[in-house]
A and B are shown apart, each in its own frame.
Chain A
Amino acid sequence: MKTILDKQQLHLTILRLAHQLLENNLSFKDVVFIGIQPRGVQVGAKLMDCIQQLCPIEKIQYGILDITFYRDDVRDELHVANTTDISFSIEDKKVILIDDVLYTGRTIRAALDALQDFGRAKKVELCVLVDRRFNRELPIQPDYCGKAIDSIISQKVKVEWDKEAVVLY
């Protein structure tokens, strides 16, 4: 077991991501954030808190998306569905998807499919806490990345919110 980000680093990383998001988006009028179920939602919530603190007057639109029904392995492995809650239109908006770990890219592929059913976004960007660089199975890359790591397939990366750390098993 190896700690990739400890409590302080995790906090700083989220703060940096929030700053980067602010830097690239001067106004959040046409920007919406979507956390991917189940684990991207926690990252999303932390990021939203951070951004809200940095600019308290901005109204931030944040939704959560479950991609279970869009998976390409429905018939191989059954996943339990989670709540989707997107209470705003994404039509012509810039959508920033948020997840904890980017690995094969298949979750993001499914999320892109799911987004289509909610409207035509003007642009979609991806923000992840951890990017496992060398294990991609699809041509998908993050626009905002907390920490890029090199790991092998047999290893597992986990964000442990109770201990506020990211660990590699």
Chain B
Amino acid sequence: MQLSTKHLLGIKDLTREDISLILSTATQFKEVLQRSVKKVPSLRDVTIVNLFYENSTRTRISFELAEKRLGADTINFSASASSVSKGETLLDTVNNILSMKVDMVVMRHSASGAPHFLAKHIPAAIINAGDGINEHPTQALLDALSIQEKLGSLEGKKVVLVGDIMHSRVALSNIYLLKKMGAEVMVAGPPTLIPKYIQEALDVKVEYSIKKALEWCDVANVLRIQLERQNQVLFSSLREYNLAYGVSKKLLDSLKKEIVIMHPGPINRGVEIDSDVADSNQSLILQQVENGVAVRMAALYLLAGNKTNG
């Protein structure tokens, strides 16, 4: 049993079996993380570089912890403190790092497709830790694990992705994954933040009323408003966005049922989600972060053990 791909570039390339294998392996790693010694020696002969061309807190720490708990050697690289500022190209940087005998690359980049480009040119296995507005596969996997733990399975569950669908790589990865695992997916938000032909292209429901969307769903995954990627005015103000599309306690109380609230972080408190909702018992936000380490351990373990790596 092994993954069908050599790299983890996106959920788009994975099969349903791949996703199940990663999630079941992650469950076993979760047990490892409950032990007093939270470490296994599986990847002790593997060296991994964390290549972060874009800022990150959770993903970066989570990957680094996952690598260390698998016994791998790690090197951290952030673009701002490197020769990238002197004008070195991505491929040159990576080839220089790989010539120091590095086996795997975990990469985040602001350009969509950057890891796919790299995969064509280097022999090492690559894990995409977020590329521009394209995909963030490990986030979708940890979201799936969190839903699965809470609701038992993904099959037939109704999940709504709320907010900035247009600029969110988390949204795209989640849509691919949830569809592959048999869940129903809806996107909700202001029309300016939802791609025009998403319904036809990805076979998801579209809803412009947050109340109706929440009435429909079992799980609401609230996404961050990605101000850094918006280069034009897509809504008038953060306050107005909050009033029209923010998930508030009042809104949740008006529903006839209790739904599960998720958020990939970092949270803009009081914009897409209110503090009392984010910190409530309905919210899985901290469980998501906890599952992140286990899911990333599973992805790293399965890719390192993949024979096609040569």
Listed in ascending order, the chain A residues whose CB lies under 8 Å from chain B are 66, 68-71, 74-85, 113-114, 116-119
**A83-B28 contact in complex given A70-B42, A117-B35, A117-B37, C-beta closer than 8 Å:** yes
Cβ contact of B304, chosen from A75, A84, A119, cutoff 8 A: A75
Contacts of A83 in B (CB 8 A): 28, 31
Contacts of B31 in A (CB 8 A): 83-85
Instruction: Please give me the 7 A-B residue pairs with the lowest Cβ-Cβ distance, nearest first.
Output: A69-B40, A117-B37, A81-B28, A78-B305, A78-B2, A69-B42, A80-B1
Whether B252 is near chain A, meaning CB under 8 Å from some CB there, is no
B41 and A81 contact, CB distance less than 8 A: no
Whether B45 is near chain A, meaning CB under 8 Å from some CB there, is yes
Q: CA A71 – CA B45 in complex, angstroms?
A: 12
Contacts of B41 in A (CB 8 A): 69-70, 113
A80 and B25 contact, CB distance less than 8 A: yes
Contact with A along B26-54 (1 / 0, CB 8 A): 00110110011101111101100000000
Report whether over half of chain A's contact residues are helix, strand or loop; otherwise say mixed: loop
Q: CA A70 – CA B43 in complex, angstroms?
A: 9
Q: CA A79 – CA B70 in complex, angstroms?
A: 15
A70 and B40 contact, CB distance less than 8 A: yes
Contacts of A70 in B (CB 8 A): 40-42
Pairs across A and B, CB under 8 Å, 28 listed: A66-B28, A68-B28, A69-B29, A69-B40, A69-B41, A69-B42, A69-B301, A71-B42, A74-B42, A74-B301, A74-B304, A75-B46, A76-B307, A77-B305, A78-B1, A78-B2, A78-B307, A79-B1, A80-B21, A81-B28, A81-B29, A84-B28, A85-B31, A114-B40, A117-B36, A117-B37, A117-B40, A118-B35
Q: CA A69 – CA B35 in complex, angstroms?
A: 14
Within 8 A of A (CB), among B264-310: 301-302, 304-307
Q: CA A114 – CA B28 in complex, angstroms?
A: 14
B305 and A74 contact, CB distance less than 8 A: yes
Contacts of A77 in B (CB 8 A): 305, 307
Q: In this complex, what residue of A is CB-closest to B1?
A: A80
**A119-B42 contact in complex given A66-B28, A84-B31, C-beta closer than 8 Å:** no
Q: What is the count of residue pairs linking A and B with beta-carbon distances less than 8 angstroms?
A: 60
Q: CA A126 – CA B41 in complex, angstroms?
A: 23
Listed in ascending order, the chain B residues whose CB lies under 8 Å from chain A are 1-2, 21, 24-25, 28-29, 31-32, 35-37, 39-43, 45-46, 70, 301-302, 304-307
B296 to chain A, nearest CB (A): 14
Best-buried of A78, A80, A118 by chain B (most CB within 10 Å): A78
A118 and B25 contact, CB distance less than 8 A: no
Contacts of B45 in A (CB 8 A): 75
Q: CA A70 – CA B41 in complex, angstroms?
A: 6
Q: CA A79 – CA B35 in complex, angstroms?
A: 21
- With contacts A71-B42, A74-B43 known, what are 12 further pairs, Cβ within 8 A? A68-B28, A69-B29, A69-B32, A70-B40, A70-B42, A74-B42, A75-B46, A75-B305, A78-B302, A81-B29, A83-B28, A117-B36
Q: CA A66 – CA B304 in complex, angstroms?
A: 19
Best-buried of A71, A81, A82 by chain B (most CB within 10 Å): A81
Contacts of A79 in B (CB 8 A): 1
Q: In this complex, what residue of A is CB-closest to B44?
A: A74
Q: In this complex, what residue of B is CB-closest to A72?
A: B41
Cβ contact of A118, chosen from B1, B36, B46, B301, cutoff 8 A: B36
Contacts of A69 in B (CB 8 A): 28-29, 32, 40-42, 70, 301
Q: CA A80 – CA B32 in complex, angstroms?
A: 15
Cβ contact of B306, chosen from A66, A71, A78, cutoff 8 A: A78
Best-buried of B21, B46, B305 by chain A (most CB within 10 Å): B305
Q: CA A75 – CA B25 in complex, angstroms?
A: 16
Cβ contact of A81, chosen from B2, B25, B36, cutoff 8 A: B25
Contacts of A85 in B (CB 8 A): 31
B147 to chain A, nearest CB (A): 21
Q: CA A126 – CA B104 in complex, angstroms?
A: 38
Q: CA A77 – CA B25 in complex, angstroms?
A: 15
B12 to chain A, nearest CB (A): 23
Q: In this complex, what residue of A is CB-closest to B306?
A: A78
Q: CA A114 – CA B43 in complex, angstroms?
A: 15
A117 and B39 contact, CB distance less than 8 A: yes
Contacts of B36 in A (CB 8 A): 117-119
Q: CA A30 – CA B31 in complex, angstroms?
A: 24
